[in-house]
Each structure stands twice: as C-alpha cells, then as structure tokens.
A and B are shown apart, each in its own frame.
Chain A
Amino acid sequence: DAKTTQPPSMDCAEGRAANLPCNHSTISGNEYVYWYRQIHSQGPQYIIHGLKNNETNEMASLIITEDRKSSTLILPHATLRDTAVYYCIALDSWGKLQFGAGTQVVVTP
C-alpha cells in the first residue's frame, strides 16, 4: 500500500471550512484513498473514500488531484466535535489499515 504524508497539525475556527491535505505520490492505479478520524482515544471512524473523482457525503468532501498524487479532505463547517486526528490511508481492497501519525485538527471557538 502506498505511503501517505500529512501535516502533523492544523487549527481551524469553528464554522469555517477545514482543508486537510494528504500526499500519496506513489499511489497505484487500483488503490483508493480512505479517510478516517479518531476522536480522543475512541475507535477510529470511517469518513469517506475515493479513487479519482471528487466525492461528497454527509460528513465531508474529498478532492483528488487529476494525477492522484494528492488529495484534500474538506470539512465544510467545522464544529468543536470535529477536533480529532485525521488519517489518510491508501488501500486497494479489504485488509489492514496502516495508520500513520495523521493530522491533529483542533477546532477553536
């Protein structure tokens, strides 16, 4: 599975959009980009996934560049409950999730 790189931390004001970048320059053609988050020692939570098209669900939007070497998770209106560690993971099917250090997002009032 391709390695992903994320900034260690970012702050976001409540009500504003949070844009979380992820680099995955070695991603292969059949690997999807998955995003999970972990709120303070709780179990990780699935957010969204994508291959090459932009995706949106009730939690977030995922923008993947045309060359698929990077992506951005967008939380459109961040709330205090979105404070968490966000993980970007490349995976081609079912199987183990390899969690990196992720991005610690702190949403401030």
Chain B
Amino acid sequence: EPEVTQTPSHQVTQMGQEVILRCVPISNHLYFYWYRQILGQKVEFLVSFYNNEISEKSEIFDDQFSVERPDGSNFTLKIRSTKLEDSAMYFCASSGDNFPYEQYFGPGTRLTVT
C-alpha cells in the first residue's frame, strides 16, 4: 500500500540554525500539508499546498517557515532560524483530488532545538 514517507525521523539542531524537513507524498496525490504537534499538545495545521502554491497557512506559519515542491516527488518544510519553541513532531500529509480527500500522514520528524 502506498505511504507517505518523511526524513529524517529525528533532527537535532541548535537555535538559530536552518532545518529542512523532507516528505515524499503518495505519488498521485495533489494536495500536500504540514502539521506539527508539540509534545503533549494537539496536532496543529501549518500549511496546505496545491498546484505549486500555498493554499492556506496558519498563524504559526510565519516568515521563518517556507514550503517547496522542488521536483515531482518531494515536499519540503524549511525553518530558516529555529527557535526553542519549534521543537515538535512535524507531520506531512497528502490527499488525492477525489472525494473524500482523506489525508494520509507520514510517520513524522521529531525536531529538537537546543
């Protein structure tokens, strides 16, 4: 069964450093998402991406964040200058262009900012 994959599974970085989280969505999907979950808290929406542009973003997704689909398979989330509060699990998801648009999530990347 096709699945969403994410790399790395765990990333440790120092405050102020740039990080890139990588995702390979399911191959025929057209909608892509990033969510995050701070330890012990709810899953929060960050951004949705369709047709090579951002469709919607949350208040969390400020100028420090960017997303890109550099080729036909990868979908990346970049954090330009990480802060301690960016430490969280980051989930990528994708969905097809047919109803019910169920989202398939990857296993997540645990980001630890020290």
Contact = CB atoms under 8 A, between A and B. Distances in A.
Contacts of A100: 42
Interface in A73-109: 93-101
B42 A41 contact: no
Nearest to A46: B102
Main secondary structure, interface of B, reads strand
Given A42-B107, A43-B91, A49 B45 contact: no
B42 A45 contact: no
B110 to A, nearest CB: 8
Contacts of B107: 42-43
Interface stretch (B63-71, B79-87, B93-101): B93-101
Contacts of B101: 93-95
A98 B45 contact: yes
Contacts of B18: none
A49 B102 contact: yes
Nearest to A41: B89
A35 to B, nearest CB: 10
Interface residues on B, range: 20 to 34
Contacts of B93: 43-44
A63 to B, nearest CB: 17
B105 A43 contact: yes
Contacts of B42: 99-101
A95 B108 CA distance: 19
A93 B101 CA distance: 7
A5 interface: no
Given A43-B107, A95-B48, A34 B43 contact: no
A85 B107 CA distance: 16
Given A43-B91, A43-B93, A44-B91, A97 B45 contact: yes
Interface of B: 4, 31, 33, 35, 37, 42-45, 48, 55-56, 58, 89, 91, 93, 95, 97, 99-108
The 4 closest A-B CB pairs, nearest first, are: A43-B105, A94-B101, A96-B45, A46-B102
